[in-house]
Amino acid sequence: ANDKDSKTISGKRSSHPKQATKPESSVSSSDPSESGSTSSSSDEKPSDTRIPKLLKHLPKGVDAHAAQQIVNEIVVQGDIVHWADIAGLDIAKDALKETVVYPFLRPDLFSGLREPARGMLLFGPPGTGKTMLARAVATESRSTFFAISASSLTSKFLGESEKLVRALFALARALAPSIIFVDEIDSLLSARSGSGEHEATRRIKTEFLIQWSDLAKAAAGRETGGGSGEKERGDASRVLVLAATNMPWAIDEAARRRFVRRQYIPLPEDHVRATQLRTLLSHQKHSLTDDDLKVLVRLTDGFSGSDITALAKDAAMGPLRSLGEKLLHMSPEDIRPIQFEDFEASLVNIRPSVSQQGLKEYEQWAKEYGERG
């Protein structure tokens, strides 16, 4: 979901109908309530020095071309996301800390009954911060982050996808701790009828499930055949498949059960929208009062985080729109502040991307199969 990040795989289906690409959060909040984070979404992670060595000495059975492709397009090494960049979602953040971050940082404390889950599903309406959460998990657990959209596996990489899936899991183990983030997981693990399912898609799905099972077996020390040494096992226990979907009901039952944890990522509540709006406006010249913000929070009921970002971006254009070409000759100080009326005008065009009916379906699925977030 990060358009600035050229290393993230391309060809991702945009889940926001009004935007060709998802907006990147360009501001970082410095909310003091978010502990343990020096928030900045612009800091760069240094590139991983293990990678060139690994590419020279690939694990057995890993295709060199596929491995290179993973490194080029799927390992995310660009700018990073911290917890504090994400408004709200405290329950989801806590669940992710317990499931991934702490076990990755202190594997010695998380064995036996505390053995961490091998898979976690984030589900909910589009644009609610699922991708941001996954990226923050990778940052905070100091993991290598592999980001792939399942739809690109079944389209862009079709034909070489099985090799790619094998290389993906092998590299994740070699570069552990690792997060394999699969967006749009529904398009890979959907419950399509056997005959209607594309043969190649079915093979990728099978390969993915095999690799994922092997990972769990290796982590538990039950791996058969080669590569079941101590080191291999330790690596496998610090690889997690984190998946996101806007269509949880499309995932077939067997695949669903493999996600031991299923976390609902809901639309933002009032106070979360207020926080996000404040953050977005914090570095801008604006004249909105606290009362204006309260009204705005009411008017944006039903908006997702990405709808809010889109709205704020559109409203921020307000002061420039009336100027036309004149803006080319004006100094920044002469541009008027963003005002409440700009938001009012933008609200005519920027509407919530999730319908009430759609929301009910998520709530229902969450009640049946998920954990509340």
Half-sphere exposure of 346 (CA within 13 A, CB side): 25
Torsion of CA 42, 83, 22, 159, to 10 degrees: 100
For the CB of residue 2, give the shortest distance to ligand ADP in the complex, in Å. 7
Q: Given the complex with ligand ADP, which of 1 and 171 has the nearer CB atom?
A: 1
360, containing H or E segment? helix 356-369
- Give DSSP secondary structure letters for 225-271: SS--SHHHHHHHTTEEEEEEES-GGGB-HHHHHH-SEEEE-----HH
For the CB of residue 131, give the shortest distance to ligand ADP in the complex, in Å. 3
Tokens 């690109």, residue located = 152
User: Which residues contact ligand ADP (rule: CB under 6 A)?
Assistant: 1, 15, 22-25, 86-89, 126-132, 244, 276, 305-306, 309
Q: Given the complex with ligand ADP, which of 183 and 214 has the nearer CB atom?
A: 183
For the CB of residue 173, give the shortest distance to ligand ADP in the complex, in Å. 25
Q: Given the complex with ligand ADP, which of 184 and 342 has the nearer CB atom?
A: 184
For the CB of residue 128, give the shortest distance to ligand ADP in the complex, in Å. 4
| Main-chain phi, psi angles of 123, to 5 degrees | -130, 155
Q: Given the complex with ligand ADP, which of 183 and 223 has the nearer CB atom?
A: 183
Q: Given the complex with ligand ADP, which of 126 and 177 has the nearer CB atom?
A: 126
Q: Given the complex with ligand ADP, which of 99 and 128 has the nearer CB atom?
A: 128
Q: Given the complex with ligand ADP, which of 132 and 175 has the nearer CB atom?
A: 132
The residue with its CB nearest to ligand ADP is: 305
E strands along the chain, which residues? 75-76, 119-123, 144-149, 178-183, 239-245, 261-264
For the CB of residue 18, give the shortest distance to ligand ADP in the complex, in Å. 12
For the CB of residue 73, give the shortest distance to ligand ADP in the complex, in Å. 18
Cβ atoms of 54 and 174 within 8 Å: the answer is yes
Tokens 């034909």, residue located = 159
3-state secondary structure of 342: helix
Q: Given the complex with ligand ADP, which of 27 and 218 has the nearer CB atom?
A: 27
Cβ atoms of 88 and 269 within 8 Å: the answer is yes
Cβ atoms of 359 and 23 within 8 Å: the answer is no
List CB contacts of 93: < 8 A, sequence separation 6 or more: 83, 86, 133, 136
Q: Report CA-CA distances (Å) from 276 to 24, 27, 128.
A: 13, 10, 12
In angstroms, the CA 229 to CA 205 distance is: 27
For the CB of residue 115, give the shortest distance to ligand ADP in the complex, in Å. 28
For the CB of residue 140, give the shortest distance to ligand ADP in the complex, in Å. 15
